[in-house]
Amino acid sequence: MFTLNKPAHGPFTKIERIVITIPVLAASLLHSLNMSTAYVALPNIQGNLSAAPDQVGWVITAFVVATAIGTILTNLFSQKFGRRRIFLASIAGFTITSLFAGTSDSLSELVFHRMLQGFVSAPLLPISQAMIPVNDWGLVHSDITYDVVPVIDGAFFRFDEYLARFLSSMEDLHLDPGMSKRDIQAALHQMVGKSNLRDSYVAMVCSRGKPKISGSRDPRDCENHFFAWCLPYVHIIKPEIVEQGATAWIAQNAYRIPENSVNPRVKNYHWGDFTQGIFEAKDKNYETVILLDYDGNVTEGPGFNVFAVKDKVLITPDRLKVVCGL
């Protein structure tokens, strides 16, 4: 078990979420507006600074090139100084360089300030918008694995077991993001520590990535990658409903994916069966759903396992033996 070193508080209130969300969205808007307004202003810049058409293009080029360089360095700076400091410094730097750019008296001066502007504003985009390629096989093929470990009262719960299952899932799917067990431990520990959440839902994910050879269908050509995220602890069913007793529908038209099709011991995002079952349950005014296999045996629900007490014995489905008799 890893205990967090930094003091933290519980889930953010609604007001705190709003206060956090507004500057993050504003940063993204700031970056986008800066690019669009520069294109619109090019004719005026050309006239006011007496620049040739091929010269004025450097106003855009300098910004784009500097942004690309700054984006590459953002991760390094964030790890060294912290994402919040880099984010705030980026906003301040963008404001100052925008002022200088707006008061430039020559084209060369404007291009220089635009270059600085692009470099200091680069962190605004990658920090405010986490992205994966749209052609990542994890997205288009569901060729991905994950695991989720809870943090309760500032400490990971059974971290070693969750991480062992995640590593086993990656091995079964032939995924290798180039990170050791210790690297993943450190990344998750650092992420949760900086989140200041004492009760959180922590996801570790490894995706196939996209092929390094365009058009390839060979999974060996893909560069696998790891990413992680955390948020305030997620309750599968709201606590107030649990206190009263939740209702679960036994799906009639959706069945769990057979074991010989998808290994149930490898965590995956194949949720088509669950989604169909949830719609069925909601249509019947039930809180959640439980799926059966094709033989009518209980398997699991979306995000939870099923336990039953029979003759004072606690039973639950496993890989080779499922709960029968429903």
Pairing of strands 308-310, 248-255: unpaired
How much is the pLDDT for 129? 53
Tokens of 90: 């980026």
Tokens of 102: 């707006």
What separation, in Å, do the N-terminal and C-terminal C-alpha atoms of the chain show? 38
Backbone angles phi, psi at 11, to 5 degrees: -60, 145
By the 10 Å C-beta count (0-12 exposed, 13-18 middle, 19+ buried), 139 is classed as middle
d(CA 129, CA 124): 8
Measured between alpha carbons, how far is residue 211 from residues 56, 72, 205, 221 in Å?
38, 21, 18, 5
For residue 67, which amino acid is it?
T
Measured between alpha carbons, how far is residue 143 from residues 173, 225, 228, 270, 275 in Å?
8, 12, 16, 9, 18
Where is 24: in which H helix or E strand? helix 14-48
Domains of the chain are 14-128 (no CATH), 137-234 (3.30.470.10), 240-315 (3.20.10.10)
Tokens of 176: 């290798």
Vertex 19, ends 16 and 22: CA angle to 5°? 140
Q: Under a CB-based contact definition with an 8 Å cutoff, are residues 120 and 98 in contact?
A: no
Among 178, 205, 202, 177, smallest CA distance to 190 is for 202
d(CA 269, CA 286): 23
Which residues on neighbouring strands pair with residue 300, listed in sequence order? 291
For the chain, give the number of residues: 326
322 three-state secondary structure: coil
Where is 81: in which H helix or E strand? helix 58-81
Other CB atoms closer than 10 Å to residue 269's CB: what's the count? 14
Tokens of 136: 């990542």
Q: What is the 8-class DSSP label of residue 180?
A: -
d(CA 146, CA 136): 15
How much is the pLDDT for 251? 96
Per-residue pLDDT of the chain (326 residues; tens, 9 = 90+): 233 333 334 445 667 667 666 766 666 666 666 666 666 777 777 777 777 777 878 888 888 888 878 877 876 776 677 666 777 787 788 888 888 888 888 888 888 888 888 888 777 654 445 567 788 999 999 999 999 999 999 899 999 999 999 999 999 999 999 889 999 998 898 888 877 788 999 999 999 998 988 889 999 999 898 988 888 888 888 888 888 888 999 999 999 998 888 888 899 999 999 999 999 999 999 999 999 999 899 999 998 889 989 899 998 887 544 444 33
